[in-house]
Amino acid sequence: VEIKHGRIAMLAIAGYLTTAAGVRLPGAISNSEGLSFSDIPAGFEALKNIPGAGLFQLFAFVGFLETFVMKDSANGAEPGDFIGDFRNGAIDFGWNTFDEETKLNKRAIELNQGRAAMMGI
């Protein structure tokens, strides 16, 4: 669970920094309310300004991914495999070419960066 929360926190930090820098998607977030992406502030203030239906869609999509898509057993994980390693066959970063010491080091780096992101967000 810690690795998953760390990855989410790292994405949250990247998203926060991007929106704090003023980068927004073009177009409207809600046509019915006449609200564009540029009208949404950065950080947690955004949650107050996103329409309720949009928040529902966001949480429903994340819940769907969590329940049906992002399961390690669905991706062919063996018992003892590191959670979240790419096993879907679509992307290969050469993980199997690393020796066990290098893999352990890279996993520790990701875990520590995730912990730092959780503290930062």
| 53-103 pLDDT tens trace | 999 999 999 899 878 776 655 455 665 566 555 555 566 677 778 898 998
Q: Are 56 and 78 in contact (CB under 8 A)?
A: no
pLDDT at 52 over 60: yes
Pull the structure tokens for residue 50: 């996103």
Gap between the Cα atoms of 74 and 77, Å rounded? 7
pLDDT at 104 over 70: yes
Task: Answer with the residue of higher pLDDT: 116 or 106.
Answer: 116
Gap between the Cα atoms of 11 and 118, Å rounded? 10
If DSSP codes are grouped into helix, strand and coil, which group holds residue 35? strand
pLDDT of residue 5: 86
pLDDT of residue 67: 81
